[in-house]
Structure 1
């Protein structure tokens, strides 16, 4: 059996955002049925819907959204982790093979067979919907296996929790994995949805934090957040003065940019971590790595266990995502502003506006 629920998204590649109905499966014995209250808007939503990373006709109508929070409506008979009324979240994944070394170690995001993304991904594992594309959180309801559902702490606002499930974990994971320590120098390239969370996590971990951004428009925001320094990367003298300065640099920029200029600011034996995925390959000079033992790395999201750890870390350190609330009737405008980087610092969609649309 299936249930039809309201959703919003493009009906075809390049199409406008429209309210329509999609099918959700009836909860199986391991499933959690969730009434979605809020969903964050990630730049990946735009890329996927627009087909920037490749899209086939059968992926549409498409429903994006992988920063999902809500209230449990119903659980399957074998569910032990949740009950009706719980505050929960769903991030970028809804399944994986669960058998490979990555899955067994809690790194489902690096599943050997590929994880099942919350939207735009063909279901390959247990489900009546195997072979069909997943639909994300721009909808009133969703059904997810309990192993990919997270507890949202009671003292965390649901709307503020939503972006943590992508923007939060995407920046928390590399800081933990690459062992950021107190008093080390951290640089954050880009001060958007991801960047501002990296600043907050870095400060909570005791690092000296510098924001790298084009121009000075975001300098006041960066310093208000607690960043110790700010560098306008258009200022060649400032960039030169920062050469070999940072133990760790996290690059959150999704647009095409000169990676080498940022890598030059990393200390010998330091690490630069790429989080954004621009459309074209980077040009990197091997000598810049070889001659100073620098590392150029990449990092995706975290696994389910690490994402829960991140949520709990936010509560302990009183870390919040800075959000702008929006509604379905203003979703197209929010997407356009997200594309331009004109948001402080993450849009969150109020799903009640979809229920009444």
Structure 2
């Protein structure tokens, strides 16, 4: 086993505190990564608090991991020592079910192994990136270009792929009107990707204070959705709406902004169910769709796309000891746009 140290919650809702633990021994196809940076995702807080069901504790959160390869198994061919590498939301899957065969490992129907709070096929609990090292199968490890700022790349492993994947699935691009609901960790990445793909991008927000931020990110338009007159100007305008909001909100409002055959894509996950009028969708053949992360090949495609288009997340780098103030600010939306932990502060 490999000795590791990190920050862990010992029980549901408890504070993250320093904790020493064991990583599995490196297998023939594994890589050992020295973690340099780890993004802070809202999912981390949900998982620590068991908001989505009972968690597995002790829990070391973190699934936006970037670092440096420091050791490789004898059959590893994808990486060499010194390469920059990333790990996202999953670290294993069955590899044989229809979803895995279709390169959608994130939906593995047998047993997808999440990066933390999950049980691996070896029976060991997985621990995430709020730590100094991690052992991962090379198949579930992504190569990161030296062109990219490493710290600002970390959120791409979740926020990046979560917004890139639906835009690619629905072939959003030149000639399309794309609206992004919410300008947070996910929303600001959706704006960057939408522009890079050639769409005309409008940010929809309840907050006037986000207008200048949206403009700085390159958004073509900005609409305050609580302004009735402003909202009326975009009725039936959009081919696609990418909804990144994780708080309760009214989908019926946004569906009126879609063109005929328009698609509203949900990537945010509110704690309460959506409510839809039965008349919302038939009137104009509207579609409400969901999207959850992306598979291994698509995640690597996204990282390569980012390297080619100079796209990274806008981040605030923090000391790991600042994680709870960061959680508090994240809940209040007081971060532009993603916290990233500098793991050198763990050492």
Give TM-score scaled by structure 2 length: 0.98
**Residue 106 (structure 1) aligned with residue 103 (structure 2):** yes
The answer to whether structure 1 residue 300 and structure 2 residue 297 are counterparts is no
Q: Which residue number corresponds to residue 30 of structure 1?
A: 29
Partner SS, residue 271 of structure 1: strand
Distance across 2 between alignment mates of 1:239 and 1:96:
44
1:284 partnered with 2:283: no
Equivalent-residue separation in structure 1 for 2:110 and 2:247 (angstroms): 28
The number of equivalent residue pairs is 347
Gaps of 5+ in 1: none
Q: Does the residue aligned with 2:304 lie in a helix, a strand or coil?
A: helix
**Distance in 2 of aligned mates of 1:134 and 1:237:** 50
CA distance in 2, matches of 1:64, 1:179: 33
Residue 183 of structure 1: CA displacement? 2.1
Q: Quick one: which of 197, 200, 205 aligns to 2:192?
A: 200
Q: Which residue of 1 aligns with 2:343?
A: 351
* Aligned-pair CA distance for 1:242: 1.5
The equivalent of 1:272 in structure 2 is 264
Gaps of 5+ in 2: none
Q: Which whole-Å CA distance do the structure 2 matches of 1:338 and 1:23 have between them?
A: 30
Q: 2:155 matched to 1:163?
A: yes
Task: Report the counterpart of residue 6 of structure 1 in structure 2.
Answer: 5
In the TM superposition, what whole-angstrom CA distance separates every residue of 1:277-307 from its partner, at most 9, and x where no partner exists? 1111111123211121111000001111111
What secondary structure sits across from 1:242 in the alignment? coil
Q: Distance in 2 between matches of 1:71 and 1:317?
A: 23
Q: Report deviation, 1:239.
A: 2.0
Question: Map of 1:133-212 to 2, 5 A cutoff?
Answer: 133-212=125-204
Answering whether residue 215 of structure 2 is matched by residue 223 of structure 1, we say yes
SS, match of residue 71 in structure 1: strand
Alignment root-mean-square deviation, CA: 1.0
In structure 2, distance between residues paired with 1:12 and 1:19: 14
Q: Are positions 1:84 and 2:81 aligned together?
A: yes
How many Å apart are 1:236 and its aligned residue? 2.1
What is the distance in 2 between the residues matched to 1:6 and 1:83? 24
| C-alpha deviation, 1:181, in angstroms | 2.0
Separation of aligned partners in 1, 2:299 and 2:190: 14
CA shift, 1:152, in A, is: 0.4
Query: Structure 2 CA distance, aligned partners of 1:181 and 1:41?
Result: 29
Q: CA deviation at 1:350?
A: 0.3
Find the partner of 1:234 among 218, 226, 233.
226
1:122 is matched with 119
Instruction: For residues 79-115 of structure 1, give each alpha carbon's deviation from its aligned partner in whole angstroms, at most 9, with x where no partner exists.
Output: 1111211110000010111101211121111212242
CA contact (8 A) 2:156 2:303 kept: yes
Task: Name the CA distance, whole Å, in 2 between partners of 1:115 and 1:286.
Answer: 34
TM-score by length of 1: 0.95
Aligned 8 A contact 2:238 2:262 in 1: yes
Paired with 1:246 and 1:46, the residues of 2 have a C-alpha distance of: 33
Q: Note the alpha carbon deviations across 1:175-233, whole angstroms, 9 max, x for none.
A: 00011020210000010011000000000111100001112111100011110111111
- Verify the 8 A CA contact 2:148 2:310 in the aligned structure 1: no
